Structure formats: C-alpha cells, structure tokens
Structure 1
Amino acid sequence: MNIQEIADKLVAVCKSGKFEDALALYAPDAVSVEASAPPGGQRETVGLAGIRGKGEWWVANHEVHSMQVAGPWPHDDRFIVGFKFDVTMKPTKQRFTMEEMALYTVKDGKIVREEFFYSMG
C-alpha cells in the first residue's frame, strides 16, 4: 500500500469507531507519542501491545458522545489526521471537547510512528 492508501484506510477505520482494527496498519515495533503523559503512564509507548493498551485505557476511561475525523493530509512519508471528540471522563464525570492532530509516519507500507498534538489547557 502507498501512503495515500494507508492514510485513507486509517481514516475510514477511525470514522467507523473501530480503532482496534487500525492496528493492522502498524509495524510491530511502532512508536506512539502523546503530547503529555496520561495518568500513570508515559508519553512514549513502543510496540503494538502497548499501543493496544493505550486504546483500552481510553475506552475504559472515556464515554464518547460524538467524534469527527478530518483528513488525511499526506506529505512524503507522513500524513496528518484531525480528530474532535465530545467526551465524558468516566471517573470524574467531566464532559469536554477534545481536539487533536495526529502525525503518522510510514515506512515499508506500515505506520511506524504516531504523534499526537493537542492543547493541555
């Protein structure tokens, strides 16, 4: 698959809400980097098991009321996808809107790195 095909497939999977299915697009040693460390976690996660665990933590701790996915915007071996979530943090019952951009890097037909950008305000 070329970069556009990978990007389009990732966006389609995200729009369907089946984020777990996106892992098929990732290299086994892919790296995921957050703008800040999640509670009890680290900013950087390496490998599919760790990335899957981040997803499981998200689902366990957030109720998603609505989601918008924008893009992709490819550039050489990278592409950007925009996300906007209306969520409630389950432990605190706090509802908020979260917007983030994700930068994905592709090598040998697989996503090898994802970086999330969002405001911590």
Structure 2
Amino acid sequence: MTTMEIARKLVELCRQGKNAEARDTLFSPDVVSVEAGAPPGQQREAKGIAAVKAKGDWWFANHEVHSASVTGPWPHDDRFVVGFQFDVTNKPSGQRMKMDEVALYTVSGGKIVREEFFYDMGM
C-alpha cells in the first residue's frame, strides 16, 4: 500500500470506530508511538505493537467516549497528518472534556512505523 492508501484506510477505520483493526492491520510490529505528554503511570514513548496496544487499551478503559470525529488525511511524502476530536469523560475523575489532537504518521515498507500526537497540554 502507498502512504496515501494507508492514510485513507486509517481514517476510514477510525471513523467506523475500528481503531484496534487499524492498529493491527496498518502498523508495523516495531511501531513507535510518541505522546505530547506521558499518560499517568506511563512513558511518553511506546515501542512495539504490544506497547501501543496496551496504551490504547488503557486510554479506552479510562475514558467514556461520547462522540469522536476524524479529519484528514493530509499527506506529505512518506508522512501524513490526521485530526481527532473527542468528547469524553475521564472515568476516574468523572470530568467531561473535549479533546482536539493531531497525529503525524510516518510510513515505511507499507506500514506505519511512527505516530506522534500533538495536543494542548494546558501550558
């Protein structure tokens, strides 16, 4: 698959709520995922598909998603950007919030090898 085919497939699956399928089919086993800030009790960087899966499982276990939308993709050579908007409630705190983030994906060998998330950390 080309970078743009991967980008379109990622967006399509995420719009359908099939984030796990996107990860399992489009990501390299050696993918690196980098957050703008470290999730509670975790590192900013997750290396390998198992670590990325664990990070995603933690996020969905700790957030009730009321709505989600996906924008893009916007390509640039072997990379592309996707926007994500969420209305969620943090389960531990009960705090409802709107999240707006952008992810930069890098593709090599027909798989996503790196994802980097950008969002407001309240700074």
Alignment of 1:72-83 (within 5 A): 72-83=73-84
Distance 1:59 1:76 in 2: 31
Per the alignment, residue 8 of structure 2 pairs with: 8
Q: Equivalences for 1:1-121 in 2 at 5 Å? A: 1-23=1-23, 24-121=25-122
User: Matches of 2:29 and 2:61 in 1, distance apart?
Assistant: 24
Deviations 1:4-54 (A, max 9, x none): 100000001110111100121011100000000000000000000000001
Q: Count matched residues.
A: 121
1:53-103: CA deviation from partner (whole Å, max 9, x where unpaired): 011001100000001100000000000000000000001100000000000
For residues 59 and 98 of structure 1, the distance between their equivalents in structure 2, rounded to whole angstroms, comes to 14
TM superposition score normalised by structure 2: 0.97
**Separation in 2, partners of 1:54, 1:18:** 16
* C-alpha distance in 2 between matches for 1:105 and 1:75: 10
Q: TM-score, normalised by structure 1?
A: 0.99
Gap regions ≥5 residues in structure 2 = none
Shift in Å, 1:118: 0.1
Q: Point out 4+ residue stretches in structure 1 off by more than 3 angstroms.
A: none
Corresponding residue SS for 1:36: coil
